[in-house]
Amino acid sequence: MRNSETSSPIAFPAPLTPYAARAEATRGRLHEEGESATRTPFQRDRDRIIHAVAFRRLKHKTQVFISHEGDHYRTRLTHSLEVAQIARTLARSLKLDEDLAESLALAHDLGHPPFGHTGEDVLKECMAPYDGFDHNAQTLRLLTKLERRHAAFDGLNLTWETLEGVVKHNGPLIGPLAEKDDPLPAAIVEYAASHDLWLDSFPSLEAQVAAIADDIAYNNHDVDDGLRAGLFDLDEARALPLVGDALAAVAARWPDAPRGVLIGEAVSDLIGAMVSDVQAETERRLTMAAPADADAVRRAGRALCGFSDEMNAQVRALRDFLHRNMYRHYKVNRARSQAKRIVKSLFEVFFSEPGTLPPEWRARYESGLEARSSDAGEARLARVVCDYIAGMTDRYAAREYRRLFGGHFLE
């Protein structure tokens, strides 16, 4: 459905707190457009993200497990939907703009390459001489350049608030408040030159909510997937902070519950406990900071949404366990080893033999449309190859490998 300009303002979400992002006061889009007659600017952003090709591809991009392991484990798509649900719950309870929080949750993983963090590590290594690779910067690149659905502009032309939240959801990228002093990724430098995203400040509270919702979702769902996959057992889980208490409480309520139900109920309780903790801690920080508006949240000097110190310590202990017993499990390591060879081999062959790229991608390199003025031909080729591989799903990358090299990887 086409959007049309309207002289009658639509109904915006209400009531919101004074420090919530205001859709009616958005800083707008890089390319001016008429407003929708039926949707707020943030609702329109959400819909554009959902209809993006990159969003559909999340269905076949995995996080921990490779796609052939089974149909019941989380993919980037199911994870993003779960993050969006948690983000909306928190935004509603804190009287923030739910649509902006949901948009950010749905977009946060778009820039991830195939094979989860393994694929990202390989692309970082391959792109080290050519401005590097960062999945947040790749998300921005997708949203502002690579998605091509509109005649008037490249990308999705999302609002300032959505792009700001995508880039800075973990905090400021430059200045004294930045967690790291690494050079900014090229995609962010390039875009910020034409659209200032306030890279030295924290993002909106909606973006902070989406970021903590991501933490809640992957911590709990990795426990769920790890138990169901047999990477660790219930006895090990019972010894964990948070998880052990949840399992004990469920067993007390439902002593005859089957194993799968016990796990499901415990994970549900864990999510509820973390959401309640974040809500209480965020309200405490907001009371102390008393921000007058959304920009005061950005300039508060610290994140105003987060876990309490006690919950944060327990979550760190849980993450340490998952790193030892799940992410470094020998079965996962074997799949990771295969994935590394696939991504590295694909990059090497496309970079050394650009004639093997599909015609549309070879045309992007040869036309120079993807280049900044300072890009050399080699750097331009590397970025095109990187964009092509980063957009692949797990199974498409495996198929490309077989087409080029033969073999039976990930089968």
Residue 410, pLDDT score: 52
Share above pLDDT 70 across residues of the chain, in percent, rounded to a whole number:
91
Question: How would you label 13-27 residue by residue, b for 16+ Cβ within 10 Å and e otherwise?
Answer: beebeebbbbbeebe
| 157-182 mean pLDDT | 93
For 102-124, what is each residue's pLDDT tens digit?
Answer: 999 999 999 999 998 899 999 99
Residue 202, pLDDT score: 97
Query: Which H/E stretch holds residue 330?
Result: helix 330-352
pTM assigned to the model: 0.91
C-beta separation of 79 from 221 below 8 A: yes
pLDDT at residue 370 tops 80: no
Question: 48: which residues sit within 8 A by CB, 6+ positions away?
Answer: 149, 156, 157, 158
> Would you list the domain boundaries of the chain?
40-230+323-411, 231-322
C-beta separation of 199 from 188 below 8 A: yes
Domain 40-230+323-411 has CATH 1.10.3210.10: yes
C-beta separation of 112 from 142 below 8 A: no
- Three-class SS of residue 62? strand
* Cis peptide bond prior to 15, omega within 30° of 0: yes
Residue 377, pLDDT score: 83
For 9-50, what is each residue's pLDDT tens digit?
Answer: 565 666 899 999 999 999 999 999 988 999 999 999 999 999
Share above pLDDT 90 across residues of the chain, in percent, rounded to a whole number:
75
pLDDT-based confidence at residue 368 (cuts at 50, 70, 90):
low
pLDDT at residue 290 tops 50: yes
For 335-354, what is each residue's pLDDT tens digit?
Answer: 889 999 999 999 999 999 99
Residue 367, pLDDT score: 77
- Three-class SS of residue 125? helix
Question: How would you label 212-238 residue by residue, b for 16+ Cβ within 10 Å and e otherwise?
Answer: bbbbbbbbbbbbbbbbebebbeeeebe
- Smallest CA-to-CA distance from 103 within 153, 154, 145, 165 is with 165
Amino acid of residue 268: S
